[in-house]
Each structure stands twice: as structure tokens, then as C-alpha cells.
Amino acid sequence: MTNDNSQQQSASVVVISGGSRGLGLSLVNKFLAQNCQVATFSRSKTPEVKALENEHQDTDRFLWQQVDGASEDDLRGAIRTITKSWGRIDTLINNAGTGHDGLLALQRMQDVDQLLDVNLRSAILLTQLCSKSMIRNKSGSIVNISSVNSVRGHSGVAVYSATKAALDGLTRSLARELGPMNIRVNSVAPGYFESAMVGELSEDAKKRIQRRTPLGRLADPSEITEAVYFLASQQGSFITGQTLVVDGGLTC
């Protein structure tokens, strides 16, 4: 997204990985509300995605594809379909991710490989594919969804944390690499917010997190969404190479 007037936003093409539920779905709805053309993909179609398809079937503003985030062929095919349909990509939100808890010494390598493939390798590939369109247009914005675990260590999430820290490193280097083409690259590192991953925690664990958080609560996904939108929009037009931590003060 390069401009906030409605005429240009209607032509702005936004790609959001993992947009069928949770934060990804919140991001999809936010950018649709800003008159963008939004493409997303996930492994399965949720009722929320079906509702969006029905709502926008006559507007050509929403596109969902079934994609395995660990499959290079699937990802390449998805981006080909988007560029063929809409001609360009203006914004990429690397949101898709997965998590496996457990001590590294006991973790199965197939789980390690899945974390690396979905959280990091797919984000790198999507960035490579989408940035080509941005380079041609000499304009664009990329926002990587990192994690508070990229800046603060926690037991049991070593590999997950490594993938998210790698996204922050990718963000900083790509900001320098793509800046001369007027392409901004940033990341958002959410703290704990209402999500499927947090939903698996016990009530005692949630209360401990709330006690450690200066604002005393978990975030709502909309609060993370607004931070992502800020960085992707004209409001953040002179911000690049940064990681915005949105954690209620947990890491302060």
C-alpha cells in the first residue's frame, strides 16, 4: 500500500499468508475494509473464508486458494494466480506460521523441519516471489509477523523462537536491499494474544502471562492488526527495517 486515498487503495493488491483464521483473518478483514484487493491462502477453507467468498463474489476483491505452506510448488502457483488475476502485488504480509512446544533435546526432527519450512522457508520464498512485482513497480511494503519470542527467550520454544528471530534478521537486511526500490520491510512481534495457540494454555498459564504483562491482559487480535496496517500503510511511509514489539510491555 503506497497511498491512503480510496481510489488508489482499490487498486492496491495485498497478499496475506495464513488468512483463514485468527490474526490472519483479522488482517484480511482490515485490508478489505480499506478497499484493497486481498489474496490469501491456507491449508483448509474455514466458514469465515466461505462467507468472505460469498460476500465478495461480485467485487473481484477477495481471492482464497488452498495451499500447503510447506510446498514450494503450491506457493509458486498461488503467486502466479494472483499476479495473473490482478497484475501486481503491492503488499505482502508473511503471517502463516506453526508452533511445536517441547524441549529441544526431545524434539522430533520432522517437527523441527516443519517449523523451519512453514515459519521461515515459506516466508523467504513468498518474499522473493512477491518482491519481483514490487521491484518492477518500484513500490511496495512487506510486513513479517514475528513474535515476542524472537526478542525474549522462553523454555520449550527454542526452534520456534529461532524461526521468528530469523524473520527479524531477514527484515533488517531486506530493508537495506530493497529500500533503493522504494520497498519497505518491517516486522511486528506480537506478545500473547487471543489465538488458537494461546487457547491451548491452561487458565493458570494465562494468568501468569497477564501478571507479567504491565497492561495486565492479553492482546486482542485487532490490536496486532492495527500495528501491521500502520506499517503497511502510508502512515508508516518512512519506517523500514524495524521490528515493532506489540506485547503490552511484557519485554520492557
Q: What confidence category does residue 155 fall into, taking pLDDT thresholds of 50, 70 and 90? A: confident
Whole-number pLDDT of residue 196:
64
Of 115, 148, 151, nearest to 219 (Cα)?
Answer: 148
CATH class of 6-246: alpha beta
95-120 tens-digit pLDDT: 999 888 889 999 999 999 999 999 99
Averaged confidence pLDDT in the chain? 92
Residues with catalytic roles:
160
Amino acid in the structure at residue 42: S
DSSP letter string over 187-242? EEEE-SBSSHHHHTS-HHHHHHHHHHSTT-SPBPHHHHHHHHHHHHSGGGTT--S-
Query: Is the per-residue pLDDT at 9 higher than 70?
Result: no
How much is the pLDDT for 36? 97
Sorted by where each begins, the domain ranges of the chain are 6-246
Residue 205 pLDDT exceeds 60:
yes
pTM of the model: 0.92
